[in-house]
Structure 1
Amino acid sequence: MSHIVVVYELDKPGAARPSPETQGGEARHVRRVHAAPPAPGEPTATGPRTFCGKDTFAMETGPWTTEHPGTPWYPAQYASVVCPDCDAVIET
């Protein structure tokens, strides 16, 4: 899989993992990390659905990119909240 966009499914404030994109002191928490195909013609914008089929509209796009084969597609600090369905699609 050559290009993916990492998106964060955010939980309501009060969860345990702060998002790296938190701005203005607002508490935003990552519930699950998903992968999505890029939007047509825009490799840094997310498509409408994740690889597991969830709508990306309310998700936050992450800055994470990987260019080396064999490295994880997600940031290491979120390994425990990676969507297993998205991960399975990328691994195939």
Structure 2
Amino acid sequence: MSDIVVVYELDKPMATRSSLRTPAGAERPVRRVHAAPSAPGAPATTGPRTLCGKDTFAMETADWKLSEYSGAPWYPTEYASVICPDCDAVIET
């Protein structure tokens, strides 16, 4: 398999009264962790779709590099509970 890039599908911001007081740079929670093939010739850049077929345009690229963590899963372990089961199944095959 070619290099993969880990991307985060973030929760959508809600336009509520309390969110108006949230600082502009505040982080949104990660809804789902996906894997995407890297763009041709640019191993750190994600391709247009995840392995499960979702558009990566609005997703945030993770700093996670599998090559830096020998024997680790393809995703950051702190997000194990929110990995995309479809992306995971593609990687496992």
CA offsets 1:28-64 (integer angstroms, 9 cap, x no match): 1100000000011100000000000000000000010
User: Match of 1:37, SS?
Assistant: strand
Cα-Cα RMSD = 1.6
Spell out structure 1 runs of 4+ moving beyond 2 A: none
Partner of residue 71, structure 1: 72
Equivalent residue runs for 1:43-82 within 5 Å: 43-67=43-67, 68=70, 70-82=71-83
SS in 2 for 1:89: helix
Q: Is 2:9–2:34's contact at 8 Å kept on the other side of the alignment?
A: yes
User: Any conservation in 1 of the 2:64–2:76 contact (CA below 8 Å)?
Assistant: yes
Partner AA of 1:6 in structure 2: V
Q: Percent identity?
A: 74
How many pairs align?
82
Runs of 5+ unmatched residues, structure 1? 15-23
Q: Who wins on radius of gyration, i.e. which is larger?
A: 2
- TM-score under structure 2 normalisation? 0.80
* 8 Å CA contact retained: 2:2, 2:38: no
Query: How far off is 1:71 after superposition?
Result: 2.1
Shift of 1:3: 1.1
Which of the two has greater helix per residue?
2
Find the counterpart in structure 2 of residue 26 from structure 1: 26
